[in-house]
Amino acid sequence: KMPVILDCDTGSDDAFAIAMAIASDQLEVLGVSAVAGNLTLDRVVKNTRRTLSFTDPAVPFAAGAAGPLQRDLIETGRPIHMLFAGAKEERVPVDPRPAEDFLYDLIQKSEQPVTLIPLGPLTNIAKLLQKYPQCKENILRMVLMGGAAAGGNTTEFAEFNIYVDPEAADIVFRSGVPIVMCGIEVCRDGRVSVEDAERLEALQNEAAGYFAREMMQDFKNGESIIFDAVTVAWILRPEIITAQPAQVHIELRDQLRLGQTVCDFASDRPNALVAMHMQKEGFVQLILDLFAKYGG
Ligand code: BDR
Ligand code: CA
């Protein structure tokens, strides 16, 4: 099995990615860590523990940064809420260590190099790389949700996860660790419909039920984008996603373009593989196949 660790700001799409990774026979989830982003840290911790409570309460979990490296956490005003009312978060213990220590411990104990799956602002990951640069030796790659090849979703130029903590993103993109960037473009191909939620509900198991209800709440104009789950699709079904190598630079100086992931596809020194397009039906089928496993 391929060892993975997810770092997230849960968020229903983060929760999707966690549940899918845990369900997969090909992946071994070594741990999950929480970072402030979509919501304040205490609420991210609650949502993440709720997610683990019915997917696998034995997965090690720790909390990380309550805010970006050098900035205040932005108020997004986005309608992101507490997930899974009724789930028993107290079933999931919280490791007392800060995320960077927890992550380092998991990485260095792993027999095989680890794939990191960052799904929120990159604060915890930047702290890990700064405090324990030697951990890179046992990191195979990062498959992250963040950035955009063209326009942003938080400012005209920047995507949310990168915009929230651009200094952390800069550290990560300069780290030399191989990166697969699942940005806005490829995630937009992961739009799901009300019919998809009904197909999920029809699986009739507890996890599928929680997520189908969650999807129903997230619909705007009959569709919803499950951004973060695209990372797991990349790992499990790379054949449904196209990608191009690029030199990705994080804009830190120009305030208008702050947090933009400037992608130079012509560079001969790429630091990332930028995912571009995904076949939607293959994505939905993967989700259904994985959630079917919660039926026992
Ligand atoms: C990213 O921001 C968050 O809302 C989502 O969880 C995703 O990680 C999309 O820009
Ligand atoms: Ca997220």
pLDDT tens-digit readout, 169-207: 999 999 999 999 999 999 999 999 999 999 999 999 999
Dihedral class, residue 36 (left if φ above 0, else alpha if ψ from -120 to 50, else beta): beta
Strand-pair partners of 174: none
For the Cβ of 228 lying below 6 angstroms from any atom of ligand 1, the answer is yes
For the Cβ of 227 lying below 6 angstroms from any atom of ligand 1, the answer is yes
Whole-angstrom CA distances from 136 to 45, 133, 199, 203 are: 26, 6, 40, 40
pLDDT above 60 (res 77): no
CA-to-CA distance for 213 and 198, rounded, in angstroms? 9
Residue 219 burial (CB count, 10 A): 13
Q: What is the pTM of this model?
A: 0.97
Strand-pair partners of 275: 182, 243
Rounded to the nearest whole angstrom, what is the distance from the C-alpha of residue 146 to the centroid of ligand 1? 7
Rounded to the nearest whole angstrom, what is the distance from the C-alpha of residue 119 to the centroid of ligand 2? 4
Residues 118, 156 contacting (CB under 8 angstroms): no
Half-sphere exposure in the Cβ direction for 206 (13 Å, CA): 14
pLDDT above 70 (res 76): no
The atom of ligand 1 lying closest to the CA of 154 is: 10
CA-to-CA distance for 1 and 115, rounded, in angstroms? 11
Strand stretches in the chain, DSSP E: 2-8, 27-34, 61-63, 114-118, 139-145, 179-182, 191-193, 223-225, 241-250, 261-264, 272-278
For the Cβ of 16 lying below 6 angstroms from any atom of ligand 1, the answer is no
Tell me, what's the ipTM? 0.98
* 63: helix, strand or coil: strand
CA 47, 170, 27, 217 torsion-angle sign: positive
Averaged confidence pLDDT in the chain:
95
The atom of ligand 1 lying closest to the CA of 187 is: 9
First-to-last alpha carbon distance for the chain, in angstroms, is: 20
Rounded to the nearest whole angstrom, what is the distance from the C-alpha of residue 161 to the centroid of ligand 1? 6
Q: What is the pLDDT of residues 4-16, one digit of tens each?
A: 999 999 989 999 9
Out of 38, 48, 154, mutate this one to test ligand 1's pocket (max ligand atoms within 8 Å of CB): namely: 38
Out of 39, 40, 160, mutate this one to test ligand 1's pocket (max ligand atoms within 8 Å of CB): namely: 160
Residue that wins the pLDDT comparison between 253 and 216: 253
Residues 162, 248 contacting (CB under 8 angstroms): no
Half-sphere exposure in the Cβ direction for 167 (13 Å, CA): 9
Rounded to the nearest whole angstrom, what is the distance from the C-alpha of residue 268 to the centroid of ligand 2? 30
User: Which tokens is 250 given?
Assistant: 């994080």
Rounded to the nearest whole angstrom, what is the distance from the C-alpha of residue 15 to the centroid of ligand 2? 9
CA-to-CA distance for 208 and 226, rounded, in angstroms? 15
pLDDT above 60 (res 229): yes
Q: What is the pLDDT of residues 79-96, one digit of tens each?
A: 667 889 899 999 999 999
